[in-house]
Structure 1
Amino acid sequence: MNKRLSFFFSMLLILSMFLAACSGGKSNEPASGGEKAEGNENAEAKPDVPQNLRVNINTEPPSLHPGLAKDATSGTVLRQTFEGLTRINKDGAPEEAAAEKIDVSEDQTVYTFTLRDATWSNGDPVIAKDFEYAWKWALDPKNQSEYAYQLYYLKGGEDANLNGGSLDDVGVVAKDDKTLEVTLANPTPYFLELTAFYTYLPVNSKIAEANPEWANDAGENYTSNGPFVMTEWSHSDKILLEKNDTYWDADTVKLETIEMIMINDPNTELSMFDNGELDWAGAPTGALPTDAMQALKDDGRLITQPIAGVYNYKFNTTEGPTANVNIRKALAHAINRQELIDNITQGAQLPAMGIVPPSMFPENEKGHFPDNDVDAAKEFLQKGLEELGFKDPSELPAIVLSYNTSEAHQKIAQAIQDMWKKNLGIEVTLDNQEWAVYLDKVHALDYQVARMGWLGDFNDAINFLEMYRDAAGGNNDTGWESKEFQDLLAKSATEGDHDARQQLLKDAEKIFMEDMPVAPIYFYTNNWVQADNLKDVAVSGLGDVQYKWAYFE
């Protein structure tokens, strides 16, 4: 016996509202003093106002293939051009999108999605096979999708991706053109949030099967099913999106174009905004210069929104000094996070001494250890030196701290370099690369300490832990794994009691922080400025942005 999903949507709405309350919600029209301006629920785009949005996405997206995308920049573009079975609405809750009806079995493991009448941007119908094809393509190990683990919720998904299992046994089947049946390995209360995530997006199977390189450039082969279609991709320069007139909900879409430039200089970005060349500057797509933050606050233009995300330094745990847990702990404890926030980032971030954001684990406002605990750092350092056979920090090989090219990342790295030298006597050299090159380097473990960040893909603590389950996992990037950690995550997957499941995940985080493969630095906020007449840009509590509802009044 099946039941409709009003209950599940209601529960997810409650969870999403909680996340929004904890992390700032959708604050995109604040008045002076940090308050939101009065809503414009009934306002509409005026015919005489150009509906052309100009934003900066900072860098070239590494991939615009839903099965290969692995970063926020790629996700930002895909979120505008594609649409999954569900979409996260302006209130932060999943709602029907490509699917017009969703039924769930009593045991909550079988989802039946009925697709609405919709077409790809080239006129091909969107069919259930497009979802089955896309999900199985990402799980196929030969395609090396680093986000394949997000599909392990499907029955047989992990086995097909890691253990040589058959893709035919994966729990996603197109029953006919309009019906997709999905069988999960275990009940997953946030599954309808996952179906809005980009790894779960459909791919035009007709195009992809005939043209394996379909996603490399804009053109007739790059077909999408979302509110916008990509009509230009000038690599490392800009992307142009235009309204998708074939989109089933095109009447809701007011913007005619979105121009996404790629400027990796926050000073230039802010200057272009001030000169009227951009309509938005700063997060979640770009960045503001740290030196300008206070002035932007003072003149009332800065919008700040806490989000579920963490800025961290990953350690290569497989070789060099950082293979030693006590050296890792020494480095993590010797960072003055509050000083970084007060003097460098200046964006009201929260010091992070845990990996899961406080919107999910409230106790992580304090975390697992004190900030700037230099005495403890020195004790850990001494233990680590003894274990490595060194008498003095000067005998340690110089530690290389890597980051992707950015003014803010550079300033943070320089400050931490100084803290490690001053507090521990450890020599640190800095190294940086452009984003795509940097990602490949980190994924290959070709580093010692590397700056990374993580924004939640969905509203559950597992999203901040599961990437570290396996050393070879797509986003692990540390070489670390723990049997005890793995067992706790496995138990959480089958635990039906919410509080008991939360405790299992908290226990897993404790193990993670004891081994310290990652040094958390701060929990993110989004900081930006925007054109006064730009309305209804939806920035979620997870840091995602959608322009489906945006318009200029």
Structure 2
Amino acid sequence: MWKISKMKWSSILSAVLTMALVGTLLAACTSGNNNNGGQNQNGGETAPPSGNSPSTNTQTGDDSNAEPTGGLKEFRFTIGSEPPSLDPALSTDSQSYILGLGLYEGLFRLNPEGISEPALAESIVVSADGKTYTFKLHQGAKWTNGDPVTAHDFEYSWKRTLAPETAADYAYMLYYLENGEKYNAGEASADEVGVKALDDYTLEVKLESATPYFLDILAHSSYWPVNKNVVEGRPDWATDIKTLVTNGPFKVTEWQHGGKLVLEKNPDYYNKDKINFDKVTVLMVEEDSTVFNLFKTDEIDWIGAQAGSVPTDQVTQVLQSGEAKVMPIASTYYYIFNTTKKPFSNAKIRKAFAMAIDRQAIIDNVTKANQEPAFALVPPSIRGVEGKSFRELYPDSGYFQENVEEARKLLAEGLQEEGLSKFPEVTLLYNTNEGHKAIAEAIVDQWRKNLGVEVKLGNQEWGTFLETRDALQYDIARAGWGADYNHPISFSYDLIHSKSGNNDGAYANPQVDQLLEQAIASSDEKTVMANIAEAEKIAIADDMAILPIYYYTTVTMIKPGIVDVVSDYAGYLNWVFGDRQ
């Protein structure tokens, strides 16, 4: 997933669960019934709402898309902004991902617990060495233009995401494929990539090395298919209702850019009996207070999990009254440094800024939702091995400590190393949102008091904010990351490997890269975890690649009568298979 409000948009099965699932599929490969009761995460950047008020720029389909009447089951929620992209190859944020869950169908989905379940994959055969997967696809699936969904669509989509000219931030998610990284680097041809349609409904996938959690990765949005005939020659195909063709449980029937999207049940979805909502209305609303008022006036059914936020000044009250629930999720709130630009090119200065923050004060006085102070990348709920979480095996307590005196010393040393007589003018950038603003104001005040530095504040609308970060046109910026799948590699490789398209601080350390590459190549989970832990410790304890602030919780509110709609393990709205009773 994803970037949180850049989604970062996820969880991974343990090797034991994964192989158990494979065994189940092998034993029942003739079954035509897929359990689609879950959702995929596009791990990645998360962001509470950031968007615009409704506009009059409305696109609608033809009369066949008219709103159903009589006994209509509708679900209503908000996102913070216009989705930056509904193209699976280019989508990296939570807003786009939540919508994509209803619009696309891959080989697998993740259920709310982050466990991989079959979607379009009807059966699977895995080679003895664990490096070759052969999938049989469900033959009843169609695109919304009536074309059949075939193995050729998957082959085309995966190679398109890897193609250098696509410039996909998530291309690295397909490096597991044989020659995937080489093709992305221009060192191999598309024909050499380890994915091939053997016929219309058989897909062969060859991996660089055995990967115990590969079925979980298949649930990621970068592995969703696209329709070649629709996509080729139309760079903007996914931004216009007239050209947007999808294959999931729902289809877009109305799109007011900057205002709202209306999705309706796809009558051609192969598993439509599993879908209960007839219509889903998604409003684009920036202000938390507006979202809260919409809920109170019965205009939306849900708040939370990257689909609207409870205003910080209302959190305590709604939790105490029982109107809302709070739960920890596999996501991390942090700031990123532009490591290519002074003064944050200096590790001592980065450490000083991280050590000068009182995280518990931020939680107690600003966010007020029982978050946990973060001193590393990987949240406590991400799995490890042998029944323990990653953080149980590798606590973040030894990475660094909050220490104002030490922070002042490091700041002075760093400025001297950079030849700076005083701290230069810098800006902390955040995407427009009341909560982000309150956190930023509190942290800037702490830096002023504890370090004696002045930091300006700047904010941008979500899509512009992402572009600014990606282009390294900032000094320090807010960020959030939600698990793409339930595995620590989703937080480590994604955020601190120099080749990751989601490493928006341009952090680079060859030793960290090597450890993470060894983790990906290993089939022994203990070795994988140890390599990730060592890479994370170097990146934080030695380099302060990012500034961790807290591990997320999500505060959710839901209207009576809405069932099977939840916040999933990573803090994304799991809505596709819900119902209204």
Q: Give the structure-1-normalised TM-score.
A: 0.89
Question: Compared with structure 1, are the counterparts of its residues 548 and 283 closer, same or farther at alpha carbon in structure 2 (3 Å cutoff)?
Answer: closer
2:550 to 522, 534, 541: 522
Counterpart in the other structure of 1:287: 309
Counterpart in the other structure of 2:229: 206
Residue 178 in structure 1 maps to residue 191 in structure 2: no
Counterpart in the other structure of 2:397: 367
Residue 121 in structure 1 maps to residue 144 in structure 2: yes
Residue 168 in structure 1 maps to residue 191 in structure 2: yes
Counterpart in the other structure of 1:102: 124
Q: Is contact 1:337-1:371 (8 Å) kept?
A: no
CA–CA distance in 1 between the matches of 2:24 and 2:170? 26
CA–CA distance in 2 between the matches of 1:338 and 1:185? 43
Residue 423 in structure 1 maps to residue 450 in structure 2: yes
Counterpart in the other structure of 1:227: 249
After TM superposition, the structure 1 = structure 2 runs for residues 242-257 of structure 1, keeping only pairs within 5 Å, are 242-257=264-279
Question: Compared with structure 1, are the counterparts of its residues 294 and 535 closer, same or farther at alpha carbon in structure 2 (3 Å cutoff)?
Answer: same
After TM superposition, the structure 1 = structure 2 runs for residues 229-378 of structure 1, keeping only pairs within 5 Å, are 229-360=251-382, 361-363=390-392, 366-369=396-399, 371-378=401-408
CA–CA distance in 2 between the matches of 1:422 and 1:210? 55
Q: Is contact 1:190-1:459 (8 Å) kept?
A: no
Shift of 1:491: 1.5
Counterpart in the other structure of 2:61: none
What CA deviation, in whole Å up to 9, does each residue of 1:424-452 have, x standing for no partner? 00111011100000100000110010101
Shift of 1:195: 1.1
SS at match of 1:60: coil
Counterpart in the other structure of 1:55: 77
CA–CA distance in 2 between the matches of 1:272 and 1:196? 32
Q: Is contact 1:119-1:246 (8 Å) kept?
A: yes
SS at match of 1:226: coil
Question: Compared with structure 1, are the counterparts of its residues 530 and 112 closer, same or farther at alpha carbon in structure 2 (3 Å cutoff)?
Answer: same
1:189 to 209, 212, 217: 212
Residue 477 in structure 1 maps to residue 504 in structure 2: yes
Counterpart in the other structure of 2:20: 7
Question: Compared with structure 1, are the counterparts of its residues 370 and 89 closer, same or farther at alpha carbon in structure 2 (3 Å cutoff)?
Answer: same
Q: Mean alpha-carbon deviation: is it higher for 202-211 or for 282-291? A: 202-211
Residue 385 in structure 1 maps to residue 422 in structure 2: no
Shift of 1:546: 2.8
Q: Which runs of 5+ in 1 are unaligned?
A: 13-46
Question: Compared with structure 1, are the counterparts of its residues 232 and 48 closer, same or farther at alpha carbon in structure 2 (3 Å cutoff)?
Answer: closer
Q: Is contact 2:112-2:569 (8 Å) kept?
A: no
Question: Compared with structure 1, are the counterparts of its residues 298 and 163 closer, same or farther at alpha carbon in structure 2 (3 Å cutoff)?
Answer: same
Q: Is contact 2:95-2:306 (8 Å) kept?
A: no
Question: Compared with structure 1, are the counterparts of its residues 335 and 256 closer, same or farther at alpha carbon in structure 2 (3 Å cutoff)?
Answer: same
What CA deviation, in whole Å up to 9, does each residue of 1:32-78 have, x standing for no partner? xxxxxxxxxxxxxxx98641111001111100001110111111111
SS at match of 1:291: helix
Counterpart in the other structure of 2:425: 398
Shift of 1:383: 1.7
CA–CA distance in 2 between the matches of 1:418 and 1:59? 28
Counterpart in the other structure of 2:576: 548
What CA deviation, in whole Å up to 9, does each residue of 1:326-350 have, x standing for no partner? 0000000111111111111111111
2:158 to 135, 142, 146: 135
Percent of matched pairs sharing the same residue:
41
Shift of 1:9: 4.8
CA–CA distance in 2 between the matches of 1:314 and 1:293? 27
2:97 to 68, 72, 75: 75
Counterpart in the other structure of 1:449: 476
Name the amino acid aligned to 2:277: L
CA–CA distance in 2 between the matches of 1:209 and 1:437? 26
Name the amino acid aligned to 2:568: S
Q: Is contact 1:148-1:161 (8 Å) kept?
A: yes
Q: Which runs of 5+ in 2 are unaligned?
A: 1-16, 26-68, 383-389
SS at match of 2:344: helix
Shift of 1:497: 2.4
Question: Compared with structure 1, are the counterparts of its residues 507 and 322 closer, same or farther at alpha carbon in structure 2 (3 Å cutoff)?
Answer: same
Counterpart in the other structure of 1:532: 560
Q: Is contact 1:335-1:371 (8 Å) kept?
A: no
Name the amino acid aligned to 1:389: G
CA–CA distance in 2 between the matches of 1:378 and 1:371? 13
CA–CA distance in 1 between the matches of 2:18 and 2:401? 44
Shift of 1:525: 1.1
CA–CA distance in 2 between the matches of 1:69 and 1:540? 20
Name the amino acid aligned to 1:62: P
2:459 to 411, 415, 432: 432
Shift of 1:486: 1.0
Q: Mean alpha-carbon deviation: is it higher for 463-472 or for 233-242? A: 463-472
Q: Is contact 2:110-2:219 (8 Å) kept?
A: yes
CA–CA distance in 2 between the matches of 1:162 and 1:449? 29
Q: Mean alpha-carbon deviation: is it higher for 357-366 or for 310-319? A: 357-366
Name the amino acid aligned to 1:401: L
SS at match of 1:270: helix
Shift of 1:527: 1.0
Over aligned residues, Cα RMSD in angstroms?
Answer: 2.0
Counterpart in the other structure of 2:536: 509
Q: Mean alpha-carbon deviation: is it higher for 358-367 or for 138-147? A: 358-367
Shift of 1:356: 1.0
Shift of 1:194: 1.3
SS at match of 2:446: helix
Q: Mean alpha-carbon deviation: is it higher for 535-544 or for 261-270? A: 535-544
Q: Give the structure-2-normalised TM-score.
A: 0.85
Counterpart in the other structure of 2:7: none
Name the amino acid aligned to 1:81: L
Name the amino acid aligned to 1:498: E
Q: Is contact 1:218-1:230 (8 Å) kept?
A: yes
CA–CA distance in 2 between the matches of 1:330 and 1:400? 16
SS at match of 1:389: coil
What CA deviation, in whole Å up to 9, does each residue of 1:439-479 have, x standing for no partner? 00000110010101100101111111112455453111112
Name the amino acid aligned to 2:231: A
Name the amino acid aligned to 1:362: R
Name the amino acid aligned to 1:386: Q
Matched length: 512
Higher RCO, 1 or 2 (CA under 8 Å, sep at least 6)?
A: 2
Counterpart in the other structure of 1:64: 86
Counterpart in the other structure of 2:518: 491
Name the amino acid aligned to 1:328: R
Name the amino acid aligned to 2:544: M
Question: Compared with structure 1, are the counterparts of its residues 128 and 527 closer, same or farther at alpha carbon in structure 2 (3 Å cutoff)?
Answer: same
Question: Compared with structure 1, are the counterparts of its residues 385 and 211 closer, same or farther at alpha carbon in structure 2 (3 Å cutoff)?
Answer: closer
Name the amino acid aligned to 1:77: L
Shift of 1:235: 1.2
CA–CA distance in 1 between the matches of 2:277 and 2:516? 43
Residue 467 in structure 1 maps to residue 489 in structure 2: no
Q: Is contact 1:398-1:426 (8 Å) kept?
A: no
Question: Compared with structure 1, are the counterparts of its residues 245 and 367 closer, same or farther at alpha carbon in structure 2 (3 Å cutoff)?
Answer: farther
Q: Is contact 1:396-1:426 (8 Å) kept?
A: yes
